[in-house]
Structure 1
């Protein structure tokens, strides 16, 4: 056990020490504010303050973890071995920076509470982040820091026990539209047919007619193929289904349609399913509750996983709704238009609500890749970025999470490319 002394044990200190020491490194820790207890301890010990008490492992703190709320912070990024860090401290400290304050800044998404310019969809853009501006967005820096910290700590305390992690990959399959042609209703189908005819998209016209007459399956209904991958390769996938009412933003078919329900049920037999939150449900808890109940009615089990379909997170508001409805896992923490680690980590972590200064039970699963980036990044570039990020995650034994859509694997997309990216993540031949 590692005993940690700090003059005052704040909620922020408990949160970030537990994430780094317990969650990432698997080190058992205990906090104390009693100098006598700390000095009397004859095992591994660390002090976190302004001055060391003796010759213990010492990390000099900055004030961030002692504060409440948020304010503008001047941040200076500097090199540390082969990586970057910030919140530098004097040489008396055993680390050249306050690893815990820096990690809290990234994990809590502190910068997203500060004034910033939103993108056209009302989202916090990657370009506004410290990680993008200082060129470490592609690195899970918190995990890199944690392993370096463990290495230095182990030289001081060789008997310190910790856990070894192995690389994992998780693919999220977001399904806004289970079908492109099937069960769309007469008016929607007729208008779609007219649009295809006027645009001379005869391939779609032919496909649409074949689906209507049940001569072939719907092009977006690729779920059996993905389930076969899970069976053959033990690939970990999580399927997110949208069950919103029809609107100008959410255009899926009715949740009451039996083919729609049948697809969700069959997928749930082989993989975990979750809720792809609709446009209005992101802000309205009554709508979110309704969508959650719809999915629970289909799969006959509690819904514990959710993802924001537009990724325009309003941290405290959106997440407090998930917490109130007892949704335990969120998969929205990433940038849909930029590859990289939005929160600086490839390890799931609990959401810390800065407005309330409390660690919540909601676990955030950060993703580093979203297939929508291919709308603005070349195939060659994304393959290189993916390879680089996967290598980084393997080196720290973390989890690489990628987001795809069911339509990516249809004949109306470059499905060969998306399958190759999926194979690259999961190390399949």
Structure 2
């Protein structure tokens, strides 16, 4: 256990010290604001304040963890060896910047509370982020900082036994369209035929016809392969089902269709299942509540996991809705347009609500990459994508973090825009687990 002294123990201080020291470095912590208790403590200890009390391990504090609300902060970047950092300290500090304030700024997504321009889907734009501007979006810098701090702590406290966490991999699958052609209503089926005919997509007309006549399996029905890979390669896999009402952005099979319900029931026997709240749900509690109840009626078990469709969420409103609906885990923390670490960490963390200044019970699982980002946004080939996947996996493995990927059942179909991508998912898993 490490004792932390600070002149004022705030919710922000408790939150970020526990994330850095306890969740990343597996070091138990306790806090005191009494100098006499700190001086009397004969074990490892850190002072976090404006001036050192003596020759102890001291980190000069930035004001951020003692403030409330959100202010437009001036960020001046520097380097800690070769790693970007900010909130500089002074020569008496054990490290050249306030690791705790900087980590708090990144993990809470502080910058997303500030005025910003949204994209055409109403999402925070990756290129506005500090991580993109200073080229560390593809590095989990919070974890990298933590492990650099660990080395210094080991030198300072050589008799203390430090534990080591293990690398983890989680595969997540979004089911936006369980089937390409099957189990759609007549209006959608005939509408699809006529649209393809008008656009002279004769190959798709033919594919649709032979699938509907049961001469060929639906190309998006890749679930048995996903479950087989999960079993054979022993990969933790979570499926997120979109079961909202039909809109131009929510085009899955209706949740009233028996075959779709049976698919979900079948999946839940082999893997955890979560909710994929529909496009317009991010600021409407009634929509998420309705869809959560709909999924619970199918699975006959509580829904505790969620990922927003199109990754549309607004801080803190969307997360506040999820908390009110007793969702325990969210997997939306990432960008559609860019790979990397939106919250600059590869460690699951609890959402800190800057509106109410509290750590909430909602646990955020940040993902590192998405198949549609590689294909649609970055325009990479499958081979180029594997190179990027390996780079990100190596970054996570270096800090024994949690590597989370986001794929869709469609990307295993080898159909339409996914032509040539059929083997990528299996290759990705082998890289991630090697």
Q: Give the structure-2-normalised TM-score.
A: 0.96
Cα deviation, 1:9-60, whole Å, max 9, x if unaligned, reads 0000000001001111110110011111111110001100001111111100
Aligned equivalent of 1:393, options 392, 396, 399:
396
Structure 1 residue 124: Cα displacement: 0.9
For 2:188 and 2:370, the matched residues in 1 are separated by 29
Which stretches of structure 1, 4 residues or longer, exceed 4 Å deviation after superposition? none
Structure 1 residue 94: Cα displacement: 0.4
Which residue pairs with 2:196 in the alignment?
Answer: 196
Is the contact made by 1:337 and 1:370 (CA closer than 8 Å) also made in structure 2? no
Aligned equivalent of 2:418, options 414, 419, 427:
414
For 2:20 and 2:291, the matched residues in 1 are separated by 35
Structure 1 residue 214: Cα displacement: 2.3
Is the contact made by 1:174 and 1:276 (CA closer than 8 Å) also made in structure 2? yes
Is the contact made by 1:341 and 1:367 (CA closer than 8 Å) also made in structure 2? yes
CA, structure 1 residues 246+258, in 2 after alignment: closer, same or farther (shift >3 Å)? same
For 2:132 and 2:105, the matched residues in 1 are separated by 15
Which residue pairs with 1:375 in the alignment?
Answer: 376
Is the contact made by 2:24 and 2:143 (CA closer than 8 Å) also made in structure 1? yes
Is the contact made by 1:237 and 1:271 (CA closer than 8 Å) also made in structure 2? yes
Stretches of structure 2 lacking an aligned partner (at least 5 in a row): none
* Alignment coverage as a number of residue pairs: 429
CA, structure 1 residues 422+160, in 2 after alignment: closer, same or farther (shift >3 Å)? farther
For 1:203 and 1:253, the matched residues in 2 are separated by 22
> SS of the counterpart of 1:315?
coil
Which residue pairs with 1:248 in the alignment?
Answer: 248
Structure 1 residue 317: Cα displacement: 0.7
For 2:125 and 2:85, the matched residues in 1 are separated by 22
Which residue pairs with 1:40 in the alignment?
Answer: 40
Which residue pairs with 2:59 in the alignment?
Answer: 59
Stretches of structure 1 lacking an aligned partner (at least 5 in a row): none
Residue 290 (1) aligns with residue 290 (2) = yes
Structure 1 residue 251: Cα displacement: 1.9
Which residue pairs with 1:94 in the alignment?
Answer: 94
Cα deviation, 1:254-275, whole Å, max 9, x if unaligned, reads 2111100111111111111100
Q: Give the structure-1-normalised TM-score.
A: 0.97
Structure 1 residue 230: Cα displacement: 0.7
Structure 1 residue 381: Cα displacement: 4.8
For 2:430 and 2:256, the matched residues in 1 are separated by 34
Residue 226 (1) aligns with residue 226 (2) = yes
Structure 1 residue 415: Cα displacement: 5.8
For 1:419 and 1:382, the matched residues in 2 are separated by 12
Which residue pairs with 1:141 in the alignment?
Answer: 141
Structure 1 residue 421: Cα displacement: 4.9
Structure 1 residue 128: Cα displacement: 0.2
Is the contact made by 1:180 and 1:218 (CA closer than 8 Å) also made in structure 2? yes
Cα deviation, 1:158-205, whole Å, max 9, x if unaligned, reads 132333122222221111111111111112111111122233323322
Which residue pairs with 2:326 in the alignment?
Answer: 326
